[in-house]
Amino acid sequence: MSLQASSSISLSAKGSPANGGLAASKPSKILIGITGGVAAYKLCEVTSTLAKAGIEVRVMMTRQSQSFVSALTFAALSRHPVYTDDDFWSAKQARPLHIELGEWADVFVIAPLSANTLAKLAHGLADNLLTNTVLASTCPVLLAPAMNTDMWQQAAVQRNWQQLETCQLASRYHSVGPDVGRLACDRIGTGRMAEPSEIVTAIYSLSHTKGRRDLLGKHLLISGGTTQEYLDPVRFIGNPATGRMGIALAQAASHRGAEVTLVHGPLAGDLANTIPAPIRTIAVTAAADMESAMRSAQPSADWTIMSAAVADIRPTHSATYKLPKAELPTHLSLSPVPDIVAQLAQQKSPGQRIIGFAAQTGDIVTPALSKLKGKQLDAIVTNPIDKPDSGFGSANNQAVILLANGQQRRIDNGSKLSFAHQLYDCLATYCQ
């Protein structure tokens, strides 16, 4: 069961500091500790998703957790034997297993976090392989609680949880969930474990930040998605934006400790379900609605990031009923939509920062520079929408960040979550 067989994946940039490249990140070594709870089955998807992405995953299971899902299942999904308490002190190990595992992991995930294990972590107790490994590790620990609502709301459980949340300030413990929903006991309330996709997203964030919470104490106002300008109740002028970029920006900011407000237009598919509970959301449809929401929320924001693809024009007249084909205009009268980010820049207070986005084709830098200066922004992110696997509708993105001080930074093609973190790496230094 040696952990020495493979090395970590290096985090490097295609561009060096000399050419302004920003590094993308990918999780390298993830340790998953599973405790007793029905939600243990959700870790099958988490483990499989990470392993399929080529990430090294190791799983350890408490005795209680093996009553819900077998160790053989996780061994098959992780492509590696599972560690249990039977392996704790084994002659097969040249070094104590909890020491070796603790030093190996880049991110340690504990899910479903039971009330029992929560209490042990809060008080520094170590009576099994999992809790000993926590004390022997220094990497970020991601906690995903899962329990009955009445259990979760017990004063003792909340006291233990608050104690660990205090440790979050030191970037040791991080949390995802619990969510509100139907529980295994058929109760509907708080205590449902976060969904696998939310856990995986948090893992990717922690792998990039190494647990840094450099946006703690900041309020970020972010816009995302498209807007729809209706000609009648069924026809509108819009664009292909899905909202993925705005959601990724909100997720990354929240994971780095920020208070986040996300104002979003109509989202594609079930993307609304991927927005973590701590993020405040305001759903809008038309540009006028987004303008009102953004102007209202901006006074309390430290940074405003306008990533939404807002319509530039709208029908001058909008019918309240579906227009028959015979009544459709052959020439559509259009009106310009006010430039929201320019207005926000005009009304910002000292210390506030405004960051715009510019979706471009061809030469993406020259027109973006004009927008940066003309709208008096602190930064603008210009991204190509005519490149493969980038921009609207894609899971990936790439861009050049243009700063008001004349500096430029390139973000190479990668996931939108990685893109968001690289943007914050740049802004965290510049927007102080």
Q: How far apart (Å, rounded) are the C-alpha atoms in residues 287 and 404? A: 26
Q: Which long-range contacts (CB under 8 A, 24 or more apart) does 242-246 make?
A: 242/267, 242/268, 242/269, 242/271, 242/392, 242/393, 243/267, 243/268, 243/271, 244/268, 244/271, 244/394, 244/395, 244/416, 245/307, 245/357, 245/397, 245/416, 245/419, 245/420, 246/222, 246/307, 246/308
The strand pairing partners of 326, in sequence order, are none
Task: Give the active site residues.
Answer: 185
What is the signed CA dihedral for 238, 249, 392, 197, rounded to 10 degrees? -110
The strand pairing partners of 58, in sequence order, are 31
